[in-house]
Structure 1
Amino acid sequence: MAQPTQRQAWRRTDDYTKGTLKVKLFTEDLPLPLHPTAVLIKVHAVALNYRDANIANGGNPWPITPNGIPGNDAAGEIVSVGNRVSLVKVGDRVAPITDSDFVNARSTGRSWLAANEDGILATYIVFDEKLVTKLPEHLDWVQASIIPCAGTTAWSALKGATIGQTVLIQGTGGVSTFALKLARASGLRTHPEWYKEVLRLTNGVGVDLVVENGGSSSLVRSIECTRRGGIVSQVGYLGGPKPEHLKEFVSTIIDRRLNVRGINAGSKDDQDELMAAISATQMTFEDILDSTWSFDKAEEAIEYVWQGKQVGKFFIKLDD
């Protein structure tokens, strides 16, 4: 196959007016020739997240690149490499990491796909070889595309929990459903119920770990139903920033001796660990797939996610 020179890419309009288009499709030149350590990836599947719809509708609290490409979960095949690439090769099945400055625990920068830089909702994408991880061979493209953001976030959020401990997982979105699968596979006990019911089921003790999605609107309730010395992994902010909800935050975490930690996906090391775990267990994700849309329906797909209609993960499959 001849090396492609152009791609189709969806870019945000950055028009936050209700009822207007949030993304538009463009044909654009690829950054050629490739940098010596860069790889060109043909995208086969993209997994959308609530974050993609939130940014497209102006709800993101962090800086973004104007008219950037949405999406940070993708699975694809390397079709061309720079002349100094040594870690991967043409034909490898790979996925990029979500934060290109977060390679390991010693990294200090932050550069998120679809925010600080372009995302992956395109027919071809280019990354440095150090920013991609190899995919488990047993997964198809759609299932593999869930791993980079939703999967690595869930993996990071569950770190610290041990076999037999109890985990509360909020919501039915991608991170929540992925975390549920990982928790069960790891021998953790899970509770989908909320607050008072959690306390009732745990005889007032609380759970060992909470995967917290609501943000300030639910964080205090989450820490109130976590056992003393437990862990709250804050992975989302669906409820919006409302400081009045946090009046009891400091006193409660002190009283309950809690470890409250922010989770923003994970490092490349984390993603490599997750890929290895999925390969070793032959884990599959058919049961957490919501629906699959075609590449030309991306605008409708983002609106679907924005309306909160999906249960589990939602995908865009590109023509092979």
Structure 2
Amino acid sequence: MTMLPAVTHRRAFRRTDDFTPGTPKLKLVQEEIRQLAPTDVLIKVHAVALNYRDANIANGGNPWPVVPNGILCNDAAGEVVAVGDKVKTLAIGNRAGPITDTENISGREIKRSWLAADEDGVMADYIIFDEAVLCLLPDYLDWTEASMIPCAGVTAWSALKGMSIGQTVLIQGTGGVSVFALKLASAAGLRIILTSSSDTKLQRMRDQYPSILTVNYSKTPDWDKEVMKITEGAGVDILVENGGASSLVKSLRCTRRGGIVSQVGYLSGQDSGDLRELIPTIIDRRVILRGINAGSKHDMEDLCAALTAAQTPLKDLIDRTFAFEEAEEAVEYIWQGKQIGKIVLTL
């Protein structure tokens, strides 16, 4: 086993699990780094990207159980600084990050374990993972860009599976997954419709991607009908669904018969009353509704290969960076919905 003698402790942000508004949601702690197992890899973290999921967990809104006082976040990029003596796929100096669901290697596994929920996440200056759940990250990206890949990037990649050049995709919102999906869809030659409740955010996206079409769902409550008009009554081929219960039926209504709705989020809450028409609508539209929980290790490897082949820049997906020590402020920034794109902590 190769171990750096100087690395005996790490700094990490653990949740306070105090969900009272206005109280700190994170606590910076210093803790010992455990000894490496034979197939373990020690990574010095250089950047951690945040998702809405992190703010939701920190504020007690996660619909699934989480470990008490766990470490937040599942998007990170870092440098391998030590390896166990049985590690074969990674070496000191490699750039790597863990997959979001550490049980999901090939996509055929029956179990799941989510970082920052079932187990500690990555909001720390050093992290240890088994080599089986780590992926090499593209060399051409800087640390902040690479940190967005494991969760937001792989989720967007998985949500767009099955797309073909010239098809139409509807993407909801301007958060991390949405802007990553927008980037990939644009590169793949898809016609893009973007929805948001903010004209300012939509205009910013149009400035960046002049060919996209936009709909403000706040000003156009029947936004599904507007999307049907845009698509001349056919509906979109793929829809990246971020809203959840309140928007799902409308999403199904504006997806073409036989099309795909990729459910990636639940921003609107979980009012079952909004789903009264789910069954007749999904049957009528013959839509494939698929749940997206990031993706497998193989998906992450495929995404990294595609990004590397095209040398796709990702810097434009970053809304703002915070210092690692400003994690509390960064989480609150996302909780208030201020971001257009990704928020990244730098170390």
TM-score interval for Structure 1 and Structure 2 normalised by the shorter chain: over 0.9
Give me the whole-angstrom Cα distance separating, in 1, the residues matched to 2:304 and 2:5.
Answer: 30
> After TM superposition, where is structure 1 displaced by more than 4 Å over at least 4 residues in a row?
none
Letter in 1 for 2:271: K
Aligned to 1:86, the other structure's residue is in SS state coil
Superposed CA offset, 1:8-40 (max 9, x none): 0000000001111100000000011x0000000
TM-score norm. by structure 1 comes to 0.98
Give me the whole-angstrom Cα distance separating, in 2, the residues matched to 1:239 and 1:171.
Answer: 12
Contact residue 44 and residue 80 of structure 2 kept, 8 A: yes
Give me the whole-angstrom Cα distance separating, in 2, the residues matched to 1:40 and 1:62.
Answer: 28
Instruction: After TM superposition, give the deviation of residue 196 of structure 1 in Å.
Output: 2.4
Are 1:113 and 2:142 an aligned pair?
no
TM alignment of 1:133-282, pairs within 5 A: 133-192=135-194, 193=215, 194-282=223-311
Letter in 2 for 1:275: C
Aligned to 1:203, the other structure's residue is in SS state coil
TM-score norm. by structure 2 comes to 0.90
2:200 aligns to what?
none
Contact residue 75 and residue 122 of structure 2 kept, 8 A: yes
Match of 1:12 among 2, 15, 25: 15
Aligned to 2:101, the other structure's residue is in SS state coil
Aligned to 2:249, the other structure's residue is in SS state helix
Aligned to 1:278, the other structure's residue is in SS state helix
Instruction: After TM superposition, give the deviation of residue 188 of structure 1 in Å.
Output: 1.0
Aligned to 1:127, the other structure's residue is in SS state strand
Give me the whole-angstrom Cα distance separating, in 1, the residues matched to 2:14 and 2:228.
Answer: 45
What do you get for the CA RMSD once the two structures are aligned? 0.8
1:69 aligns to what?
71
Instruction: After TM superposition, give the deviation of residue 110 of structure 1 in Å.
Output: 1.0
Aligned to 1:80, the other structure's residue is in SS state strand
Letter in 2 for 1:311: I
Are 1:90 and 2:92 an aligned pair?
yes
Instruction: After TM superposition, give the deviation of residue 2 of structure 1 in Å.
Output: 4.0
1:26 aligns to what?
29
1:35 aligns to what?
37
Are 1:309 and 2:325 an aligned pair?
no
- Identity %, equivalent residues: 62
Contact residue 3 and residue 80 of structure 1 kept, 8 A: no
Contact residue 239 and residue 260 of structure 2 kept, 8 A: yes
Instruction: After TM superposition, give the deviation of residue 187 of structure 1 in Å.
Output: 1.1
Instruction: After TM superposition, give the deviation of residue 3 of structure 1 in Å.
Output: 4.4
2:134 aligns to what?
132
Letter in 1 for 2:147: S
Instruction: After TM superposition, give the deviation of residue 161 of structure 1 in Å.
Output: 1.2
Instruction: After TM superposition, give the deviation of residue 200 of structure 1 in Å.
Output: 1.2
Instruction: After TM superposition, give the deviation of residue 281 of structure 1 in Å.
Output: 0.8
Give me the whole-angstrom Cα distance separating, in 2, the residues matched to 1:189 and 1:277.
Answer: 20
Instruction: After TM superposition, give the deviation of residue 286 of structure 1 in Å.
Output: 1.6
Which runs of 5 or more residues in structure 2 are unaligned?
195-214, 216-222
Instruction: After TM superposition, give the deviation of residue 118 of structure 1 in Å.
Output: 0.2
Letter in 2 for 1:23: L
Contact residue 3 and residue 79 of structure 1 kept, 8 A: no
Instruction: After TM superposition, give the deviation of residue 233 of structure 1 in Å.
Output: 0.3
1:79 aligns to what?
81
Give me the whole-angstrom Cα distance separating, in 1, the residues matched to 2:186 and 2:115.
Answer: 30
Give me the whole-angstrom Cα distance separating, in 2, the residues matched to 1:14 and 1:213.
Answer: 25
Superposed CA offset, 1:124-147 (max 9, x none): 000001111111111000000000
Contact residue 107 and residue 295 of structure 2 kept, 8 A: no
Give me the whole-angstrom Cα distance separating, in 2, the residues matched to 1:119 and 1:102.
Answer: 16
